[in-house]
């Protein structure tokens, strides 16, 4: 199955027989068979013909709309999964305080453990004492996490672990062109934060697609609070994958000079909100740094490469792509909800 990323502004997409045709300025720039299509990501000013839209809806092809610079706007939804009984089970389980806290601990423990593994992997050749200290602190947090009894406590450990982790992550950047002090989101205040934010948007869409395939309701989770329009279950399940997929790709792009500062647009006159404050009403004019077209293409290529990489997945005893493992993890959650087995977060190797 393939993923179609539409990033060329002004492009037009139409369906012709069993093919999708992408045109720009009256010329065909790309085409692909429709039967091999799993998801379409539309960035900015790109037009879809009515025939293409109807095909996406009819075939259940997940179609996601983002801004030119990768901010999520919405998606085409043909229908919810037909397995209403599964969603009824999901709603009942998410009302069970004991189940919620145990699942939340599992998601956060998986995230913190993968934080440790990623830092340890990058620190092997550096032997930075600060990074080693961060790895130890994360280990302590994972042990202490077992004694938490409320979601607020779990989220507190997640926040503390992320604070330590991003401090450690700044120490494994080898490209002196890039600097990184801490995680900032809305808006990202430097190139590395811009890459992280864009990558997490892509990851959320990947996980969202897997949740839809499995028939679960993406808006009801346990770790992230339920709020209008927030895909809480997607946010829950993507936690363990942030370091495995996105952070790995970001470090690769920076440390191997795949992406440089030339792939960003800087706006020095932006009136930033106070440090630590985040805003959801931002337009591109409000961002101090933006990943431009060249950078988007490079990052998407590396992101897809990471999702296609095959690793050994012990639960099935075979090598699977990361994209397939994400779906298998969601299916494990389905079995967890049904009481068939407990969910175990994926641990990167």
* 344: in domain: no
Quick one: how many helices (H) and strands (E) in the chain? 10, 12
Same domain, 52 and 153: no
Tens digit of each residue's pLDDT, the chain (349 residues)? 678 888 888 899 998 888 889 998 888 888 888 887 888 889 888 999 999 898 888 888 888 888 887 778 888 876 666 678 999 999 999 999 999 999 999 999 999 999 999 999 999 988 899 999 999 999 999 999 999 999 999 999 999 999 999 999 999 999 989 989 889 888 888 999 999 999 999 999 999 989 988 889 999 999 887 765 689 999 999 999 999 999 999 999 999 999 999 999 888 877 777 776 777 777 777 788 889 989 999 999 999 999 999 999 998 899 999 999 999 999 999 999 999 999 999 999 8
What does the alpha-carbon distance between residue 61 and residue 190 come to, in Å, rounded to a whole number? 34
Within a domain: 348: no
Establish if 139 belongs to a structural domain. Answer: yes
Whether 26 and 113 map to the same domain: the answer is no
Amino acid 309: pLDDT: 95
In a domain, 289, yes or no: yes
Q: How much is the pLDDT for 83?
A: 75
Boundary residue ending a domain (58, 76, 94): 76
Same domain, 108 and 225: yes
Which residue, of 76, 92, 109, is where some domain finishes? 76
- Provide the greatest CA pair distance for the chain: 62
CATH number for the domain harbouring residue 56: 3.100.10.20
Residue 18: domain span: 2-76
| 94 shares a domain with 64 | no
User: Is there a single domain that holds both residue 132 and residue 110?
Assistant: yes
Q: Are 168 and 135 in contact (CB under 8 A)?
A: yes
Q: Say if residue 53 is in the same domain as residue 88.
A: no
Rg (CA), the chain: 21
pLDDT of residue 103: 94
106: closest CA among 259, 271, 333?
Answer: 333
pLDDT of residue 203: 96
Per-residue pLDDT at 111:
97
Q: Are residue 212 and residue 233 in the same domain, yes or no?
A: yes
Those residues whose C-beta lies under 8 Å from the C-beta of residue 147, and which sit 6 or more positions away, are none
231/216 Cα distance (integer angstroms): 11
CATH number at residue 206: 1.20.120.920
Count how many domains the chain has.
Answer: 2
- Do 290 and 266 share a structural domain? yes
Of 76, 107, 135, which one is at a domain's C-terminal end? 76
Q: 């037909």: which residue's tokens?
A: 82
User: Does 325 fall in a domain?
Assistant: yes
Question: How far apart (Å, rounded) are the C-alpha atoms in residues 332 and 338?
Answer: 10
Q: Are 36 and 21 in contact (CB under 8 A)?
A: no
* Cβ pair 220, 226 in contact under 8 A: yes
Q: Are residues 90 and 55 in the same domain?
A: no
Q: How far is CA 127 from CA 85, 123, 147, 174, 244, in A?
A: 52, 5, 32, 13, 21
In whole angstroms, give the CA distance from residue 211 to residue 332: 11
- Closest by CA position to 102, among listed 207, 238, 243, 223: 223
Residue 311 lies in a domain: yes
Is 343 within a domain?
A: no
Co-location of 99 and 243 in the same domain: yes
Q: Do 169 and 267 fall into the same domain?
A: yes
CA-angle at 205, arms to 200 and 210, nearest 5°: 125
Residue 349 in any domain: the answer is no
pLDDT at residue 81, as a whole number: 60
Secondary structure (DSSP) of 211-234: HHHHT--TT--SSSPP-TT--HHH
Same domain, 170 and 259: yes
């Amino acid at each position: 199955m393939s993923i179609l990323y539409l990033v060329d502004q002004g492009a037009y997409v139409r369906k012709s027989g069993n093919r999708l045709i992408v045109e720009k300025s009256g010329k065909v720039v790309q085409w692909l068979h429709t039967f091999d299509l799993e998801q379409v990501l539309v960035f900015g000013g790109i037009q879809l013909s009515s025939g293409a839209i109807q095909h996406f809806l009819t075939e259940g092809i997940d179609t996601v709309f983002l801004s030119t610079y990768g901010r999520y706007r919405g998606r085409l939804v043909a229908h919810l999964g037909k397995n209403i009984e599964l969603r009824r089970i999901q709603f009942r389980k998410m009302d069970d305080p004991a189940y919620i806290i145990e699942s939340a601990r599992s998601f956060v423990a998986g995230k913190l453990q993968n934080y440790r593994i990623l830092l340890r992997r990058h620190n092997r050749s550096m032997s930075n004492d600060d990074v080693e200290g961060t790895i130890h602190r994360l280990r302590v947090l994972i042990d202490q996490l077992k004694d938490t009894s409320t979601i607020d406590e779990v989220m507190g450990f997640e926040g503390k672990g992320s604070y330590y982790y991003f401090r450690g992550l700044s120490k494994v950047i080898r490209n002196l062109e890039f600097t990184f002090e801490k995680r900032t989101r809305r808006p990202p205040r430097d190139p590395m934060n811009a890459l992280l934010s864009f990558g997490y948007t892509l990851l959320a869409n990947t996980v969202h697609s897997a949740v839809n395939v499995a028939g679960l309701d993406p808006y009801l989770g346990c770790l992230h609070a339920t709020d209008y329009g927030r895909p809480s279950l997607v946010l829950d399940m993507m936690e363990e994958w942030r370091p495995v997929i996105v952070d790995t790709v970001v470090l690769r792009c920076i440390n191997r000079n795949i992406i440089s500062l030339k792939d960003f647009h800087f706006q020095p006159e932006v009136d930033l909100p106070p440090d630590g404050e985040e805003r959801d009403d931002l337009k591109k004019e409000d961002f101090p740094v933006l990943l431009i077209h060249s950078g988007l293409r490079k990052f998407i290529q590396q992101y897809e490469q990471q999702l296609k990489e095959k690793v050994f997945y012990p639960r099935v005893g075979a090598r699977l792509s990361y994209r397939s493992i994400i779906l298998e993890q969601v299916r494990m959650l389905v079995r967890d909800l049904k009481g068939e087995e407990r969910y175990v977060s994926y641990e990167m190797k």
